[in-house]
Amino acid sequence: MSVLEILGALFMLGGCVFALTGAVGVLRMPDFYARLHPAGKSDTLAQALILFGLALLAGQQLINAWPSEANSHADAWIGLANIILKLGLLTALLFLTAPTATHAIAKAARLDRYTRLPFDHEPGDDPASSRVAEIVVAGDVTEPLEEPPGPVLDVRETVAEDEDP
């Protein structure tokens, strides 16, 4: 095994560890909004580490298959550039879409007036005996948020104001 193969395997292993800790974090967090953090943060880094490890392994494979002096080196350089470009674009796409998706999920939950997980204990029972204890998390609210029902700019009001004088 070469140094690039070892580094590629280590980066891929690190990405798998981050993905696993993100999955455990999603299961362990008490609130919906708190669960978005490990899902959004660790998965982005995990995917980037795995893709970087794949780039190192692909680079080693191209070095092993490097053509002899009789053949042209252009094909090998084009192959290496093709792999690096594809993995780089995929990494950029992941860094742009994963936080955007997390934000969209959080905004949809907020607009749906989602506040807390329901508790699995009966009223009057000890709250500590439930599987989901009430933990105050930054951003939790006890009442649904009030959102304005109409659009931000109401054209009808603007037209009516212009016609009055």
Q: What is the pLDDT of residues 39-87, one digit of tens each?
A: 888 888 999 999 999 888 887 877 776 665 555 667 777 777 888 888 8
Share of the chain above pLDDT 90, in %: 15
How would residue 141 be classed by pLDDT, with cut points 50, 70 and 90?
A: low
Between these two residues, 126 and 27, which has the higher pLDDT value? 27
Between these two residues, 96 and 112, which has the higher pLDDT value? 96
- Are 98 and 44 in contact by the 8 Å Cβ rule? The answer is yes
Q: Which domain holds residue 155?
A: 3-163
Q: How many residues are there in the chain? A: 165
Q: Which pair of tokens denotes residue 150?
A: 């109409």
pTM: 0.61
Q: Report how many domains make up the chain.
A: 1
Give one DSSP letter per residue of 90-139, joined into a string. HHHHHHHHHHHHHHHHHHHHHHTT---PPPSS-TTS-GGGSSS-----TT
Query: What is the rounded average pLDDT for all residues in the chain?
Result: 74
